[in-house]
Chains A and B, each alone.
Chain A
Amino acid sequence: MLILSRKMNEKIMIGEDISITIIEIRGDQVKIGVEAPKSVKVFRQEVFLAIKNENRAAATSADANLESLSGLTLK
């Protein structure tokens, strides 16, 4: 893990194609700009973890009694 400090408007490069800019610092919130190629996915960590955990829960789903949900349809 690399630990470093930046001031407002300073950047960090990750490899040649990804850059992080500190856009604004206000109280305990930092506004960060991320520039990356389309092939690189960027999201908040907690969102990524939530999806991963939900996938795991879905994969180990109990045998479903889906009868209560059968025949879902719209008016």
Chain B
Amino acid sequence: MDIKTKAMGTVSIVERQIIEIPAGFYGFEKYKRFALIDATQKPFIWIQSLDDEGLAFLAIDPFLFRPDYEIDVDDAALAEIGVSSPSDVLVFALITVPQDGGPITANLQGPLIVNKANNMAVQAVLSDAKWGTKHDLLAEFSAKGGTRC
């Protein structure tokens, strides 16, 4: 099916790219249906609302730039999306690009947890003080000894 996106015009997607977030994102609770679409820049993805083409979140697999990322998602969140096996879980951190040209940051405190088995998702809230809402992507990536291709 074709959908309208915030950043990439009209894009063709398939059913299995569609996720449902029953509780929505905090602050955007009414929006429950999104598509996961590769951004033109790898390894980023867009989490595009199917109900409002102007609502989309840039996201990344947090383990790519913080291999030491460790999360303990509370049972309530996992139960909400029916997770029965850790191998079914995908994690995405939402990215913020500040309007004032400051560093691009990732929110590691409120990751989106996706259950691949049923394409349901929930935004978890982590209580470990190690993970905040504004991790500087470029700074932390370099610090962890990554390379770019």
CB distance from B39 to the nearest CB of A (A): 7
Q: Given known contacts A38-B79, A50-B109, is B98 in contact with A57 (CB within 8 Å)?
A: yes
A28-49 near B? 1/0 per residue, CB < 8 Å = 0000000000111101000110
Q: Does B76 contact A (CB under 8 A)?
A: yes
Question: Do residues A56 and B27 form an inter-chain contact, with CB atoms below 8 A?
Answer: yes
Q: Chain A 54-65 against B: per-residue CB contact (8 Å), 1 yes, 0 no?
A: 111111111110
Q: How far is the CB of B112 from chain A (nearest CB, A)?
A: 10
Interface residues of B (CB under 8 A from A): 7, 25-28, 39, 41-44, 55-58, 60, 64-65, 67, 74-77, 79-80, 94-99, 101, 104, 107, 109-110, 123, 125, 127, 132-134, 137-138, 141, 145-149
Chain A residues engaging chain B, CB cutoff 8 angstroms? 38-41, 43, 47-48, 50-64, 66-75
Known: A50-B109, A69-B141, A73-B148. 10 other contacts (CB 8 A): A41-B125, A50-B133, A51-B109, A53-B27, A58-B95, A58-B107, A72-B141, A72-B146, A72-B148, A75-B146
